[in-house]
Amino acid sequence: MEARLLRYYPGRGIRLVKGYMQYVWDDRGKRYLDAHTGHGAAFLGHSNPAIVDRVKRQLGELVVCSLSFDCYAREEAVRALSRIAPSHLDSVAFANTGSEAVETALKMAWAYTGRRALVAFRGSFHGRTLAALSATWNPRYKAGFPVLGDVVFLEYNGDPGEVERGIKRLEGRLAAVIVEPVLGEGGVVPARRDFMRAVADAASDAGALLIIDEVQTGLGRTGRLWAHEYYGVEPDILVVGKALGGGIPVSAVLARGEVAASLEGGRHGSTHAGNPVAMAAVSAAVDVILGDDVPAKAAAAGSLLKSALESELDGARLVREVRGLGLMIGVDVRRDPTPILKCMQDRGVLALRAGVSVVRLLPPYMVTPSDVEVAASAVEACIPS
């Protein structure tokens, strides 16, 4: 008997057979503009030739190389990440998924500070493994699982004074504050500047580390290389994933040297972390990001998409708000977006939900003005009037 696949998510009813840059095709030959991109993983395009070539070459050279050994592919990836890392973050740890990178970041914070408590925010999403899940807000994701108790949730975009008091209350036992610059899964909500600055200042005053989770926002998606640049704050630990390998599963933690060093000496490990094929994908991805001006292109395409949506949806009764940064855009439709997503799919546009009422668009950076028109008119046509 054939095993039954545990799918986790509701099925979309189509089988994808091919992807190229911003498009995917199903088994009937129908083409879709992809603003789902596997939860944002294909931000650099499906089968981007620059990434495919590099990965193919690596597959013929060396596929396995434990962190106990050196290899060129990993040395190159470390050099590549150094080109895009904030200059004060001089150490890198690799992992395989976003959740695992969040776990690594949290372990660093616990090991470095010797403290246990965490602050996270309502609406946050940091992953499905247990420590990452503990810092995730959605109670439905946590129900029935033994999550960590030492996590205090504060209001996202809450009043700066409240945030400061909430963090100060944990002084002496707070290891870290973990925050997304734009809530992704939680509804595409950009942080307000005064909120983000209060979070950073209060964490520092409490002697706690600031972990910025840019698994979804990073690598140019929001129109800057890192979304936290918009806020003038400096993370102690920066978590990166999703698009980092051009679609190949790989994630990374960038950290201050002394913070990262706390996990040395056998305190952490991973079989596949730093895998040479994933490393080749990272080097190629960074070449694309810098060589093709990805943040600037995402900023330009993102502002086109946002204004196209705003004008298409002007006066739409159901639409509460169009919001986002760069090519991370949400349309809040005040209701379950599932039927809208289905209708968009029928019209050849893939998107995904966020929160309980948001149509989320995460297209690749190379979307053209005509793709943008197609996406915006599909959203308009599918929102009931």
Taking the complex as a whole, the smallest distance from the CB of residue 100 to ligand PLP amounts, in Å, to 7
The residue whose Cβ lies closest to ligand PLP is 98
Taking the complex as a whole, the smallest distance from the CB of residue 70 to ligand PLP amounts, in Å, to 27
What value, to the nearest 5°, has the Cα angle with vertex 354 and ends 353 and 360? Answer: 60
Distance CA 33, CA 351 (A): 9
What are 154's strand-pairing partners? 121
329-to-116, 186, 324 alpha-carbon distances in Å: 35, 12, 4
Taking the complex as a whole, the smallest distance from the CB of residue 216 to ligand PLP amounts, in Å, to 3
Of the pair 111, 354, the CB lying nearest ligand PLP is at 354
Of the pair 251, 383, the CB lying nearest ligand PLP is at 251
The DSSP annotation for 91-129 comes to EEEEESSHHHHHHHHHHHHHHHH---EEEEETT----SS
Residue with tokens 């990166």: 240
Of the pair 184, 326, the CB lying nearest ligand PLP is at 184
Side chain identity at residue 261, one-letter code: A
Burial class of 377 by CB neighbour count within 10 A (0 to 12, 13 to 18, 19+): middle
Distance CA 273, CA 249 (A): 10
Taking the complex as a whole, the smallest distance from the CB of residue 213 to ligand PLP amounts, in Å, to 5
Distance CA 341, CA 235 (A): 35
Of the pair 219, 308, the CB lying nearest ligand PLP is at 219
Distance CA 277, CA 61 (A): 9
Of the pair 142, 173, the CB lying nearest ligand PLP is at 142
Taking the complex as a whole, the smallest distance from the CB of residue 126 to ligand PLP amounts, in Å, to 5
Report yes or no: 200 and 175 within 8 Å, Cβ to Cβ.
Answer: no
Of the pair 71, 327, the CB lying nearest ligand PLP is at 327
Of the pair 184, 355, the CB lying nearest ligand PLP is at 184
Taking the complex as a whole, the smallest distance from the CB of residue 38 to ligand PLP amounts, in Å, to 10
Taking the complex as a whole, the smallest distance from the CB of residue 101 to ligand PLP amounts, in Å, to 8
Taking the complex as a whole, the smallest distance from the CB of residue 363 to ligand PLP amounts, in Å, to 16
Of the pair 44, 319, the CB lying nearest ligand PLP is at 44
* Dihedral pair phi/psi, residue 168, rounded to 5°: -60, -35
Residue with tokens 């690799």: 94
Residue with tokens 């600055």: 197
The DSSP annotation for 3-38 comes to PPP---SPP-S--EEEEEBTEEEETTS-EEEESSHH
Of the pair 242, 306, the CB lying nearest ligand PLP is at 242
Taking the complex as a whole, the smallest distance from the CB of residue 181 to ligand PLP amounts, in Å, to 9
Of the pair 131, 202, the CB lying nearest ligand PLP is at 131
Positions that interact with ligand PLP (CB under 6 A):
39, 97-99, 102, 125-127, 180, 184-185, 213, 215-216, 241-242
> Quick check: helix, strand or coil at residue 213?
strand
For the record, the structure tokens of 160 come out as 């700066």
Q: Which of 124, 137, 230 is nearest to 179 (CA)?
A: 124
Taking the complex as a whole, the smallest distance from the CB of residue 127 to ligand PLP amounts, in Å, to 4
> Quick check: helix, strand or coil at residue 322?
strand
